[in-house]
Every structure is written in C-alpha cells, then in structure tokens.
Structure 1
Amino acid sequence: MKIGTDAVLLGAWTSIKNNPFSILDIGAGTGILSLMLAQRSSAETIDAIEIDADAYEQCVNNFEESPWGDRLFCYHASLEEFIEEMEEQYDLIICNPPFYSEDYKTEKSSRDLARFQDAMPFEHLIESVSKLLSEEGVFSVIIPFKEEGTFIALASKYNLFPNRILHVKGNPSSEIKRSLMEFSFLESDTEISELIIETERHQYTEDYINLTKDFYLKM
C-alpha cells in the first residue's frame, strides 16, 4: 500500500507536547503513523492495530526493520477485539480512518477494507477512543472536511471536544479537502488554522515543507 499525503500530514501535525508515554495507532496499515511518532517522540509504548492480514504483515516487518522496533508492536485484531482484551489506556491515539463512500467500491476487497468507512464507522471509532484514551490524553484524526461537523457532534456525545483543527487545501484556489483534528476530554476554545500544500503542481508551500521535511528523503 502506498503512503498517502493524509498520513504524512497527520503524523507530522499531531501534537506530542504532552510527552505521551503510550501511543495507539488505530488501523495502522503499513505502520507509517506509528513510525513517524516513534521518530518524533520518546513514548515507551507504541501499539498499532491492523485487521487486514497483508497490511498487518507489512506493518510488523516495517516495525522490525526500523530503529525503534523495541517500542513498536502491532496487533492483528479488530478494534472490538482489542478493546475486549486491553485494560490499559493511551496518552495519544491517532487514526487515519477509511472514509470513502459506498459508491466507490472496487472489486478488490482488501483495498476496499482499507478505504471504506463501513469498515470503521465514525461513531464506533469515537466510542472506542473514549474508552481507550487516558483522562488527559489526546485523540488525533484526519477526515474529509465535509464530515467535520458530523464528527464533532458525534465526539461530543462521548465528551470528546476539538482543541485544534487544521484545514488542508491542495492549492490556493481549491476548496478545503481535509480536516485534521485533535480531541480531548477538556473543553476549550478551538485553535483553527489552514495549510495549503502546493502553489502549483509539485511546487510545495513553505508551510507544507516545514511541516513534513523530516519525513521525506527529498524535500
């Protein structure tokens, strides 16, 4: 599976200012978010969950090949199974959830599983996070901008409130495409900012370069 811009943005933007001791990556895929947070933080425990067998194997291999293998562990499980078995809570939970509509299903089920929201409905994700997040923990997620209001409303049902939001546009004239959001159990004024990725094709903005340059070999 290719690494998308969404994952790189989320892994780079997510705050680690509360110095998380434990991190959970829900729906890890190749493990990119866990690896980025291992590079950025001193967290002792970085757990990942991945339900797809091929992605799980790739994730485990990537963890083992990385310099941070002793801090990284991937569980081959569904979110429901994980919640049933785990009693500990996490200081930071991060997720790049599947969010493509039913209309776009392909013939390849493993790709669909990675891409479609019916594999992980938002409310199931939020309810699970509310159980796994520590009292002062942070939940970081990226979703389509058009889903932002719905997601915030669902989160409020579980006493999770947006503290930071980043709106992402592909270029200066395009519409807002993505919302990166950080939630916690602490209700506060929401800090909202905007990021433009390119001024023109492959001409990246200074803001995007500064945010992501630590994770690209050529940037």
Structure 2
Amino acid sequence: MNKPFSFKQFTIEQDRCAMKIGTDGVLLGAWTAIQDNTYNILDIGSGTGIIALMLAQRSIADTIEAIELDGDAFEQCTENFENSPWGDRLFCFHAGFDEFVDEYTEEEPDEYELYNLIVSNPPFYSEEVTSGNSARDSARQNTSLPFDELLEGVSKLLTKKGSFSTIIPFKEEVNFIEIAKEFNLFPKRITRVKGNPETEIKRSLLELTFTQTETVIDVLIIEKERHVYTNAYKELTKDFYLKM
C-alpha cells in the first residue's frame, strides 16, 4: 500500500502518510458540489492531499489550501501538490485546525477572504481504537478533531453562501447534524453509501450550508458484487480512476 497511487491526471505518493488512499477520500473529492463562482477552497486534514487535488482538477478556483497537522503527511502533501499540474493553485499549511482558525479570524476577515467551499474527511473513530500504529490511530480517532470543534471552525471560515462537504460514519449522521445546527449549518444534500446492495449503510456524505432548505437525500451503492462496480459509482469516479 506504500506504492504511489496513480489517477488519470495526477499521482499520489503515500509512503509517509498514516492514512493511505481510500474510498472515502475519493468519494468526497468526486461528490462535493463545485459552483461556477467557487474561488477559494479549504481542505481540513488533508493527509496525502487527494481531496484538494481532485477539487483542483474539477474546478477553476484560484486558491486551494489545505491544513495538515502531522509533519510527515504535511511534507508529503506539499510534494504531491508541487508535482501535480495545479501546483500554482495548491498550498498546504502545517498547523492544527484550532490554531489555523484562531490565526485566520484574529482580525475579522472580509467576506471575500473567507472560503466559499470547505471540505474535510475528518478523523472519526469515536471509540478508542488501536492498530499498533500511533500515527494511524491518531489520524482515525476523532479525538484529533472533535465534530463540534470542526463545525465551529467551519462556521467561522465559510462565506455566507458557501458550502461545507464531509464524509462521516452513517451512525454519526444524526448527531453530526444536531451539532451543525448549533452553528447555523444545515444539510442541503445527503448521500448515504453502501458497499453493495446487501450491506448496511456505512457512510454519509453531507453538504451543509447556512441556508435552511429541504434536504435532498439519496443512496449510493459502490459494488453490485465483488469488483463489479455500479454505474452510479463509475459515473462519479470516472474522471479519476484509471480503470473506470
């Protein structure tokens, strides 16, 4: 799993990152809605940089910034950005989200200085997990970035008409939406993800905005059977995976 991962338009080096390329990140990068006026994007907890790179491929945003706390992952993310076709638009900060928010909002930023699209594939194992790899465990446990801290920070950095997209375990969906309401963020779209038609829903893709509207909800099934992908999943990821 330490080999470089090649997509159609860029390659990800991942040997120094605790969290390797996975379906969650690719789903979020492909599913996130991008508006014509999306000019300033932030990726929280970027890891390898996969989501930011996918959004660079999909958008004409002038600035796509990422935050990564882990030193090795930060260096690798920066290299992946520099080696991509969009290196001039991508930048990674080596920082924790809390300090980034504090510094960014120290002087009240103007609306145009805020982000009109924020994405995060957050560390989200609320139960104590140990795999024997402390960097991986830290990357996966939401003690690294609790949902309330994530949502409060997003609410401070997002433009009034901006959107926040994330992917979380389905079992956390109700709780996450309740916390989001405290910061005046409401679900616009929800896609619930199943591995195959027989399995339970595993993940929730969420798009949140400051505007309360009727939520559009659907279900995405990844495989019909082992290694036989559904048309919906192929359509979503065809611009990225080499074999789609």
Name the TM-score, length of structure 2 as normaliser: 0.88
Structural mapping, 1:112-131, within 5 Å: 112-131=137-156
1:64 aligns with 2:89: no
1:3 aligns with 2:21: yes
Structural mapping, 1:77-156, within 5 Å: 77-86=95-104, 87=109, 88-156=113-181
Amino acid paired to 1:202 = H
RMSD value, Cα: 1.0
Structure with the bigger percentage of helix: 1
Cα-to-partner distance string for 1:75-102 (whole Å, 9 max, x where unaligned): 0000111112224310000000011233
CA contact (8 A) 1:97 1:120 kept: yes
Aligned length: 219
Q: 1:103 Cα shift?
A: 3.1
Structural mapping, 1:1-219, within 5 Å: 1=17, 2-86=20-104, 87=109, 88-219=113-244
Structure 1, unpaired ranges of 5+: none
Q: Which of 103-112 and 124-133 deviates more?
A: 103-112
SS of alignment partner, residue 132 of structure 2: coil
Q: 1:18 Cα shift?
A: 4.7
CA contact (8 A) 1:19 1:41 kept: no
Cα-to-partner distance string for 1:163-185 (whole Å, 9 max, x where unaligned): 00001000001111100000000
**Percent of aligned positions with the same letter in both sequences?**
63
CA contact (8 A) 2:128 2:141 kept: no
